[in-house]
Amino acid sequence: MHVSNAPGQSYTIKVQGYPSEGEFMADMASFARALRLGSVFDGSKMQIDEAFGKSVTSSILRSGSEFVVIDSAAGSTPKRVIQLAAAPSVRDGRMYLPVTQACRMFSLWLGRSVRYDSGANKIDASLAGRSMPGGGRIGVLPARESASSTDNKPPSSSYIPIQPGAGSSVAGKTTVNDIRVETLANGVVIRFSASGSKRPASFLRPDKQGTAYLTIEDVQGDPKGLARTFQGGVVKSVNPVSLGNGAMQFNIALDTAAFVVKSSSFRYDASNNDYVVSIMSDVDVDAIHRTEKERLIQARLSHDIDKWKLDAVVIDAGHGGKDPGAIGTRGTREKDVVLNVALDLGRFIKQKWPDVKVIYTRKDDRFIPLKERGKIANRYGGKLFISIHCNAIAGDRKEKVRGPEVYILGPHKTDSALKVAMLENSVITEEENYKESYKGFSDEYLIMSSMAQSAFAMQSTELAQAVLGRFDRRGSTISNGVRQAGFMVLWTPSMPSILVETGYLSNPSEEKMLRDRKSQTSIAWAIFQGLQQYRSSYESRMMASGYTK
């Protein structure tokens, strides 16, 4: 790493790490030390302080969580949340993060240029002009530093500080009301129109995938209502994300396949109370030959086909090993029932869909921690996640309550949904050091995870309804509908995910059905038919959108 503190003042220092699947994994303690920042790591959580001994702000990273919390030591400023594209991992007692994401985190946090040059395998950090403790807000950049950027130039941050009494003439809460894109001859201007006083904001220039990030603190707005999609221009979409603690991040996707981004900049327009992002391109779209357009469009379609192709299904048989799950009155163990159903379901998928890869979280009687199940799904590129379980209740109603249920991730809306989630989540007590491993899995984390899963909410709901509909057609039982609750096993997978409760082992007649081998195969077939219905509908939509094979 080459670090510039001031004109004529710089130093070079090594950052430890290791290569992994084409990406350099940076040791976060080593990275922080190279920037002259202090850090403390307890095995799962790392706190990096902005100055040794006299911390102004701190960043807090947790293993397995892509959310970084920025806090002040004295509580003088509101907390901020930064969402990364990858979560930190722990290896041999040290925390690691892909170097590109580490650079992004430090850029957004410190408001300084921290970039990685993959060709030279070098990190460049410009810390010139940083405010000292008590000397103002960290991360204020001169306007000239936010002038331009290309793929080979640093992704830096332009930070708008709030001075006492500064801001627009409109007092009260600040709300982003509208997003407008104005097309120019040599680019576009994106205006984020707000009401209320001016708020701190930071801008991260486009990454290699062509996505730029605008983050505004202490602001409100309707992410769904503000989302924008565009056709035929340099801006493909603007997608707002609520980061928590009042912050909103706007992900600006640029069409770098058809346009060359010459520069990007960010400013605050006080006269209109607009946060303004300018994207400049020296490409005349009208001058591109039609054949070249067709080639680029086809290339993008081919890329998207691979990205959205339903080619891998993850099947998760609940419980296992030392965790038997629910146990019926006749001694039927949930872990045995669901393993048979999972293996049968995988067999049907392999027989009927030879082009689809089947991934099992377990294929035998072994214990797999809840956190690891979702990681397996992500690691092997799953496109759907199906977790299979059996239900049970105690008390006088146990002989009356019966029927399958299908759940998606979200805050529970009924007491019964909460009880089912608590029953399935109780398995964490079987894991070693479970209090340490799951201490970050709070209500706040459920909200953040639900927000992250919201991108798949429609698909998860459609999948759940399709599977449940096939249970109803079996005619042997009555389903209890699609529900949502905070199942930990659904928190981690980055794909449409459902949890299937095949029936109640606490009900004697349903236990008899669930322990029967033919019934287990019938349940697996019903789930597969639901998957088949979902896949048919999904691929029809892709075809209608132009995603042809």
- CATH no. for residue 230? 2.60.40.3500
pTM of this structure: 0.43
Q: Would you state the pLDDT for residue 433?
A: 52
Same domain, residue pair 535 and 399: yes
For residue 340, how many other CB atoms are within 10 A of its CB?
19
Q: What is the largest CA-CA distance in the chain?
A: 81
Same domain, residue pair 240 and 184: yes
Predicted confidence (pLDDT) at residue 104 exceeds the cutoff of 60: yes
Q: How far apart are CA 77 and CA 70, in angstroms?
A: 10
| Within a domain: 312 | no
Most confident of the ranges 18-22, 116-120, 208-212, 387-391? 387-391
For the chain, what is the mean pLDDT? Answer: 77
Radius of gyration for the alpha carbons in the chain, expressed in angstroms and rounded: 26
Helix (H) or strand (E) holding 48: strand 45-49
Structure confidence by residue, pLDDT tens digits, 237-272:
999 988 766 788 899 999 888 788 888 889 999 888
| Within a domain: 373 | yes
Structure confidence by residue, pLDDT tens digits, 20-71:
888 899 999 999 999 989 899 999 999 998 864 455 788 999 998 877 888 8
Same domain, residue pair 376 and 426: yes
Q: How far apart are CA 262 and CA 470, in angstroms?
A: 53
Q: Would you state the pLDDT for residue 140?
A: 27
Same domain, residue pair 478 and 437: yes
| Within a domain: 414 | yes
Same domain, residue pair 90 and 12: yes
Q: How far apart are CA 198 and CA 159, in angstroms?
A: 12
What's the rounded mean pLDDT across residues 158-177?
51
Q: pLDDT confidence of 449, banded at 50, 70, 90?
A: very low
User: In the listed set 134, 152, 184, which residue is the last one of a domain according to the structure?
Assistant: 134
Predicted confidence (pLDDT) at residue 205 exceeds the cutoff of 80: yes
Predicted confidence (pLDDT) at residue 125 exceeds the cutoff of 50: yes
Q: pLDDT confidence of 310, banded at 50, 70, 90?
A: confident
Residue 347's contacts (CB-CB under 8 Å, 6 or more residues apart) are 524
Q: Would you state the pLDDT for residue 410?
A: 55
Most confident of the ranges 280-289, 326-335, 531-540? 326-335
Q: Would you state the pLDDT for residue 474?
A: 59
- What distances in angstroms separate CA 245 from CA 80, 219, 286, 454, one per listed residue? 6, 9, 44, 18
| Within a domain: 227 | yes
Same domain, residue pair 472 and 446: yes
Domain that holds residue 84: 1-134
| Within a domain: 67 | yes
Predicted confidence (pLDDT) at residue 286 exceeds the cutoff of 80: no
The total domain count for the chain is 3
Same domain, residue pair 343 and 432: yes
Helices (H), 312-433: 334-352, 370-379, 415-425
Q: Would you state the pLDDT for residue 373?
A: 85
Q: Which has the minimum average pLDDT: 79-83, 352-356, 364-368, 413-417?
A: 413-417
| Within a domain: 524 | yes
Nearest-CA neighbor of 206 among 234, 241, 185? 234
Q: Which has the minimum average pLDDT: 87-96, 319-328, 403-412, 514-523?
A: 403-412
Same domain, residue pair 234 and 362: no
Percent of the chain with pLDDT over 70: 70
- CATH no. for residue 125? 3.30.457.10
Q: pLDDT confidence of 287, banded at 50, 70, 90?
A: very low
What's the rounded mean pLDDT across residues 436-455?
45
User: In the listed set 240, 267, 285, which residue is the last one of a domain according to the structure?
Assistant: 285
* Torsion region of 385: left, alpha or beta (phi above 0 gives left; psi -120 to 50 gives alpha): beta
Residue 220 DSSP code: B
Same domain, residue pair 115 and 38: yes
| Within a domain: 20 | yes
Q: Would you state the pLDDT for residue 481?
A: 59
What's the rounded mean pLDDT across residues 81-103?
90
Same domain, residue pair 145 and 130: no
- CATH no. for residue 454? 3.40.630.40
Q: Which has the minimum average pLDDT: 133-147, 209-223, 268-282?
A: 133-147
* pLDDT top residue among 453 and 328: 328
* pLDDT top residue among 455 and 377: 377
Q: Would you state the pLDDT for residue 502?
A: 94
For residue 286, how many other CB atoms are within 10 A of its CB?
5
Exposed/middle/buried for residue 123 (C-beta within 10 Å: 0-12, 13-18, 19+)? buried
Q: How far apart are CA 429 and CA 422, in angstroms?
A: 12
Structure tokens at 452: 């992250």
| Within a domain: 96 | yes
Same domain, residue pair 151 and 110: no
Predicted confidence (pLDDT) at residue 548 exceeds the cutoff of 60: no
What's the rounded mean pLDDT across residues 146-165?
35
* pLDDT top residue among 541 and 291: 541
User: In the listed set 263, 285, 307, which residue is the last one of a domain according to the structure?
Assistant: 285
Q: pLDDT confidence of 17, banded at 50, 70, 90?
A: very high
CA quadruple 214, 215, 216, 221: dihedral sign: positive
Predicted confidence (pLDDT) at residue 315 exceeds the cutoff of 50: yes
Same domain, residue pair 345 and 326: yes
Predicted confidence (pLDDT) at residue 84 exceeds the cutoff of 70: yes
Structure tokens at 85: 């594209």
* pLDDT top residue among 408 and 491: 408
Q: Would you state the pLDDT for residue 257?
A: 81
